[in-house]
Amino acid sequence: MFDNDATSCFDRIIISLAMIAALRLGMPRSAARMHSSVLLHMKYFVKTAHGISSEFYRVLRDYLLYGTGQGSGASPSIWLSLVIVLLTSLTILAPLAMSFADPWEDIFEERNVDSFVDDTSNGCNDGLQEEAMPYTELIAKAQVMAQIWERILYSSGGALELWKCFWYLLYWTWENGRLQLAMKVECPGIIALTSGHVPNYTVIPRLEVWEARRTLGVRPAPDGNYRKKGRISA
């Protein structure tokens, strides 16, 4: 399970690309032209407690501005139009997925990503194989998928905040005749990614299955606890 944290979602949108995504969903060409034209010619002033600045900044040929603005009411819809394309691209370029089925295999579900605004969680498992996949292979597959998502996001103007990303390995081991989720010391491994044009790799933090990271106000951990730290005993 890999949790991605994107940087400045609305502020990094490439307007022309976003308008193409909106046209794909049926947005009238005149509306797309009007919206992009407003952003192209808009003047930005700075407002403080001392008043509004007399100077302003705007888009110039040699000083391009990106994004649709954090306060714009259109930004969520524009991002949704774009992220649909990005997520579809991920399923094509990285068909590694998490597969789940009930014990009778009557109900089957497959997915490789969940998304909330610009934060996504993707992952992979060994599916419905009779024999468990080695944990080293699972880690390698997770790294491939995470790097592909970074490339897709970057190609659309976005970027990952690598130091905010994190991942879990859920791997079952036997302990005193009972199944337990393995700790890092039992199944060691790292995931390292590049970002943008920087060729250097950044090691992504790996959390223990009992370590929770705050997500939308709650702290869910894979072993079921909602505390910041603390393992639940079987």
What local confidence, expressed as pLDDT, does residue 27 receive?
93
What local confidence, expressed as pLDDT, does residue 123 receive?
87
What local confidence, expressed as pLDDT, does residue 227 receive?
63
Task: Give the residue ranges of the chain where pLDDT is below 70.
Answer: 128, 215-219, 226-234
SS3 192: strand
What local confidence, expressed as pLDDT, does residue 234 receive?
43
Q: Give the separation between CA 112 and CA 97, rounded to whole angstroms.
A: 4
- The candidate with the shortest Cα–Cα distance to 166, out of 139, 121, 206, is 206
Q: What is the pTM of this model?
A: 0.85
Compute how many other C-beta atoms are within 10 angstroms of the C-beta atom of residue 203.
11
What local confidence, expressed as pLDDT, does residue 225 receive?
72
What local confidence, expressed as pLDDT, does residue 217 receive?
62
Contacts (Cβ under 8 Å, ≥6 apart) of 13: 66, 67, 68, 75, 78, 79, 82, 156, 157, 158
Tokens of 118: 């610009």
Beta bridge partners of 114: 121
Q: Which helix (H) or strand (E) holds 193?
A: strand 192-195
